Amino acid sequence: MANKTPFPTVDKCSSTGRDKHTVVTDMDGTLLRGRSSFPYFALIAFEVGGIIRLLFLLLASPLAGILYYFISESAGIKVLIFATFSGMRVSDIKSVARAVLPKFYCADLHPESWRVFSSCGKRCVLTANPRIMVEPFLKDFLGADMVLGTEISTFKGRATGFVRHPGVLVGKNKADAMKNTFKEAQPDIGLGDRHTDIPFMALCKEGYMVAPTPEVKAVKSDKLPKPIIFHDGRLVHKPTPLMALLTILWIPIGFLLACLRVAAGSLLPMPIVYYAFWALGVRVTIKGTPPPPAKKSTGQSGVLFVCSHRSLLDPIFLSTALGRPIPAVTYSVSRLSEIISPIKTVRLSRDRATDASMIKKLLEEGDLAICPEGTTCREPFLLRFSALFAELTDQLVPVAMVNRMSMFHGTTARGWKGMDPFYFFMNPSPAYEVNFLNKLPMELTCSSGKTSHEVANYIQRVIAATLSYECTSFTRKDKYLALAGNDGSVVQKPAVIKANKVMGC
């Protein structure tokens, strides 16, 4: 961007009384703090094409940078588009754009640009990025009415890696796209961050520049129109070029380390797994006092450990904390996960009578673990607790589970779940915190007249309060509709989840 422009900076723009005004803004460096779109291309490359595609994109990025600075912005972006999209299924690109990118985009929202953008009644975004990768975020999370971006070429449901006419949306192409969209109407506000944005900004009644300010803090999540509760993808952090390189170099080492950790958890006696994990860099923190094991000889029924659900490893780390294997009922895990599991896993049939009978029999044999959310949630929210467990026993012990990962998420809604434990253990130093809460008092159980829903909601609130999480009424079906376009078992049309289902505890 030139040192001097004919436009004032965005902090000079008033956001008062703009509800009937139209704003047109650039994306990278304007609506977002970061000017580089590489991390978002890298997310698509890794989530769809894996480590090989990410490596290809990383190797192509120096060429893209040279073309960007010495030839044209358009030429550099074309290289990134080709390296990322060529040969990919369009449906896969759309899936990542809907389920993965919004989390990272929201974490980079520019506060001043968002202040102006959100105050206007009609919102349009012009961007050099492919429209297919940015539109779900801009429309579903920021309330954009129109998204004008670069259109990619496709053939038989796959991206060719090339762009369609009129090419990459930069400079004059942005101005032409705006003219074709608004015709004779003149937008009220234009926001940009570089000299190539001046042509479209000059067509607006007011224009404002967003100066490069990397130190400015992004918009807080509670200031967004709706919170991001569900998101997918394996990478924890935004893959800058350096982070992408470190990820590529670490994956072979991390996978071997993960295999060693999985083997330790699966083959060693449970009483020593805790120490083996610590020796292998897996941190397990135990809080609270767990109840003693049930004695079947005295006719004592087993305790039902009611856990918050962060990954499919929750019951295993519960067993690690207790020093003894605790069977777990599961909703859907891969066959590989069942084979390598060091504890007994029993699949729920989703038939209420059948599942109730099975859980009662398991409790007669001893202690049991259940995650009544039915699916995992990465953010500080608890999904709705299914109430069936509360009808089956009064011996209920809430367990607040927390895990920490620095590189990879150990859950997925779109990918192969069999890799979930490996991705968790591929983190350099993954951690789990197991917090045993007080056993539910008898007066708060169904035997004392409480309904199963009251018991389930109470336990949800207790665990949420312990973790400083927020309760929601979202379910497994809601999650899979939002991320995978199905309910977790059969393919259905995608649905947009409304934020008004979030409720306080």
Note whether 278 and 205 are same-domain residues. Answer: no
Note whether 199 and 148 are same-domain residues. Answer: yes
| Calpha distance 218→166 (Å, rounded) | 33
Which pLDDT belongs to residue 104?
A: 96
Per-residue three-class SS string for 411-477: CCCCCCHHHHHHHHHCCCCCEEEEEECCCCCHHHCHHHCCCHHHHHHHHHHHHHHHHCCEEECCCHH
In residues, how long is the chain?
Answer: 505
Note whether 179 and 308 are same-domain residues. Answer: no
Note whether 337 and 400 are same-domain residues. Answer: yes
Residue 346 · residue 329 · CB < 8 Å: yes
Which pLDDT belongs to residue 324?
A: 94
In total, how many domains does the chain have? Answer: 2
Concatenated DSSP letters of 23-44: EEE-IIIIIBS----HHHHHHH
**Is 492 part of a structural domain of the chain?**
yes
Domain end call among 179, 214, 249: 214
Alpha helices in 100-206 (DSSP H): 101-106, 111-119, 131-140, 172-182, 198-201
**Is 439 part of a structural domain of the chain?**
yes
Note whether 319 and 171 are same-domain residues. Answer: no
Maximum CA extent, the chain: 85
* Residue range of the domain that includes 181: 16-214
Residue 104 · residue 47 · CB < 8 Å: no
Residue 39: which residues within 8 A CB-CB, separation 6 or more? 104, 238, 239, 240
| Calpha distance 441→334 (Å, rounded) | 36
Question: What type of residue is 106?
Answer: C
**Is 235 part of a structural domain of the chain?**
no
Stretch (H or E) spanning 279 = helix 270-279
Block means of pLDDT (10 residues each) for the chain, 505 residues, are: 71 90 94 94 96 97 92 93 97 96 94 94 95 95 94 95 93 91 91 91 93 85 86 95 97 97 94 96 95 72 92 95 93 80 85 86 91 93 93 94 96 90 96 96 92 95 96 92 70 39 42
Concatenated DSSP letters of 150-163: EPEEEETTEEEEEE
Note whether 77 and 156 are same-domain residues. Answer: yes
**Is 219 part of a structural domain of the chain?**
no
Which pLDDT belongs to residue 1?
A: 41
Note whether 203 and 245 are same-domain residues. Answer: no
Residue with tokens 């389930």: 456
**Is 92 part of a structural domain of the chain?**
yes
The radius of gyration computed from the CA coordinates of the chain, to the nearest angstrom, equals 26
| Calpha distance 241→326 (Å, rounded) | 43
Four-point Cα dihedral 488, 485, 137, 205, nearest 10: -150
| Calpha distance 17→29 (Å, rounded) | 25
| Calpha distance 364→411 (Å, rounded) | 31
Q: At CA 400, angle to CA 399 and CA 401, rounded to 5?
A: 110
* Residue 133: CA count within 13 A, CB half-sphere: 30
Note whether 261 and 152 are same-domain residues. Answer: no
Which pLDDT belongs to residue 184?
A: 85
**Is 10 part of a structural domain of the chain?**
no
Residue 183: which residues within 8 A CB-CB, separation 6 or more? none
Note whether 145 and 276 are same-domain residues. Answer: no
Q: Dihedral of CA 213/216/218/223: which sign?
A: negative
Structure tokens belonging to residue 389 = 């467990």
Which pLDDT belongs to residue 297?
A: 60
Which pLDDT belongs to residue 213?
A: 79
Structure tokens belonging to residue 408 = 């990879």
Which pLDDT belongs to residue 212?
A: 84
Residue 181's CATH number: 3.40.50.1000
Phi, psi for residue 256 in degrees, rounded to 5: -65, -40
Note whether 322 and 450 are same-domain residues. Answer: yes
Note whether 426 and 285 are same-domain residues. Answer: yes
Which pLDDT belongs to residue 503?
A: 40
Structure tokens belonging to residue 20 = 């009937």
Which pLDDT belongs to residue 502?
A: 44
For the chain, first and last CA: distance in Å?
48
Domain end call among 197, 214, 231: 214
Residue with tokens 């929202």: 109
Residue 260 · residue 307 · CB < 8 Å: no
Residue 404 · residue 429 · CB < 8 Å: no
DSSP structural state of residue 171:
T
| Calpha distance 466→438 (Å, rounded) | 11
Note whether 61 and 207 are same-domain residues. Answer: yes
